[in-house]
A and B are shown apart, each in its own frame.
Chain A
Amino acid sequence: MNELKLLREWDADAPPLTDTVRARARFRLYQAMRAPAAPTTVRRRPLLRIAVAAVAAAAVTATVVVAENTGTSPRTQTVSTATVLRGAAAEERRLEKPIAPRDDQFIYTKEITKETPVGGGRSKTYVDESWSSVDGSKKSYVSELGHTQWVPPDQPGQSSWPPRRWSQLKQLPTEPGKLPIALRDIGRTPDYDRPMKADEWPMVQLFLSGLLRTPVLPKGLRPAAFEALATVPGVKVLPGRTDADGRAGIGIQYVGKPGTPWAEGGPVLVFDAKTYQYLGMRDQRNAGAETYEQWSYVAADAVVDRVMQRP
């Protein structure tokens, strides 16, 4: 008998490392690094949209004065992050349509991204159409900035953030007060009685922004995510933002503490200046020596039966 060999073969019921746990641990390392505020970009993996992107420093205040053109004379109005994000949640609740995709179906999305080189040059617009397996059991077809690829089904024990499986998204609470706790404790049983610690917010913010990057969510989840975002320390209002068509908007951005990868701010969510309807996201991408300003939004989504089937 070789007891050492037996021990080596005995896995002691150890679970494998999931993408969620990996992301959470890597995030803690980033926090520990307290790097100088250098832009840090993690390449996006298909459907794993924990983007750790830094955006050019912007004038940041907790409360801003927005000039509102009423037709005759400009009027000023003070808005807070809570006003904008609660307004966005209300607008989303009014507009969103419930969907109930079957496990064997696919979620189709069409995302438009306009990229402009910061150093000057022509803009380029990408139209990305993707088909994502509802229960994750089939191959998904994903397009990102024109690069298309087939993404194999999850292996047992593998998971990603945001969740690829609709059933996992359905499990997330749609109460804005509960959602941050559920995200903090993702992969375990949420302990709603334990208050959030200050150093847990950055991770929750990361998970929330990942969720908000997901083009299609179960009814009630996006409004909850907007309202939850309003409770995250470090979320700021940016005045005078516009969408790609020049429509007046208000930006919302998370800005981390000095020494974190978000010290210069994460992506900017842009909302209509009047209705607070969510319009799209401004972000930056680094590729080699070039930096691109991105504007992206979801132009269409639907539930379909097959990959390559359009609504």
Chain B
Amino acid sequence: MTVEPGVRVGQDSDASVIERSWDEPEAFAALFDRHADSVHRYAARRLGAEAAEDVMADTFTTAFQLRFRYDTGQASARPWLFGITTNLIGRHKRAEARRLKALGRLPSSAPGDQAEEMLADRVAARVSAQAVGRELAGALARLPARHRDVLLLVAWADLGYEEVARALGVPVGTVRSRLHRARRTVREALGGSDPTTLREESDDE
């Protein structure tokens, strides 16, 4: 399991914030300020801008309503929040399928002002991943939703295996096996070869 940098502990931890919000509901806003960006980014990568806005907003209102059920033994609320986000994304299956289909058709740089504006901003190192975006989208589209959830919680939400297990409420072993199969599907979609001359890394656990 990875512990993300910047994780807060003690009085300042997410758990403390949530516990405080039991008596002072407004305290919960701190959780929004900490995690809105990463939740939005995750949702935007999966669903695009418009649905991401709703999913992000709903994640925090849902979390607020469920705050009394939070296990305050867990200092970081990220797994909990991303679990809620993943559930909400599950309600947008058709939107996600449409988006992946569209991304799968597009050449690596999508037309449109926003895409161009963002492209200008990107670092050169990322170009390699953008170049195979079409293949990645195609592979993600073919994955069963439960495999895609695991893969993207690891890749895009930066959760560790145990955190993914907590987010989805499944055993760690299940996370490992789903991830393994999802990665194989993606690898095969990329032709099993290395289009970007990236070094092979062994991080199968």
Is B57 in contact with A29, judged by CB distance below 8 angstroms? yes
Closest residue to A2 on the B side, CB-wise? B201
- Measured CB to CB, the closest approach of chain A to B174, in angstroms, equals 18
Is B29 in contact with A29, judged by CB distance below 8 angstroms? yes
| Cross-chain contact of A29 among B61, B114, B195 (Cβ < 8 A) | B61
| Cross-chain contact of B110 among A7, A8, A10, A13 (Cβ < 8 A) | A13
Interface hits, B21-65 → A, CB 8 Å: 25-26, 28-29, 32, 36-37, 40-41, 44-46, 48-50, 52-53, 56-57, 60-61, 64-65
Is B183 in contact with A4, judged by CB distance below 8 angstroms? yes
Is B187 in contact with A1, judged by CB distance below 8 angstroms? yes
- A53-B194 Cα distance, complex, nearest whole Å: 56
Q: Which of A13, A32, A157 has the most CB of B within 10 A?
A: A13
Given contacts A6-B132, A6-B136, A15-B118, contact A28 B57 (CB under 8 A): yes
- Range class of the A interface residue count: 35 or more
Binding site secondary structure of chain B: helix
Interface hits, B96-128 → A, CB 8 Å: 103, 110, 114-115, 117-118, 120-122, 125-126, 128
Chain A residues proximal to chain B, CB less than 8 Å:
1-17, 21-22, 24-26, 28-35, 38, 40, 156-157, 188
Identify 11 new A-B residue pairs, CB closer than 8 A, beyond the known A1-B195, A7-B151.
A4-B183, A4-B203, A6-B190, A6-B196, A8-B129, A11-B129, A12-B136, A25-B53, A25-B57, A29-B28, A33-B25
For this complex, 21 residue pairs linking A to B, each with C-beta atoms less than 8 Å apart, are A1-B190, A2-B199, A4-B203, A5-B201, A7-B152, A7-B155, A8-B155, A10-B132, A10-B136, A11-B126, A12-B45, A14-B45, A17-B37, A17-B40, A17-B41, A26-B36, A28-B57, A29-B60, A30-B29, A156-B118, A157-B117
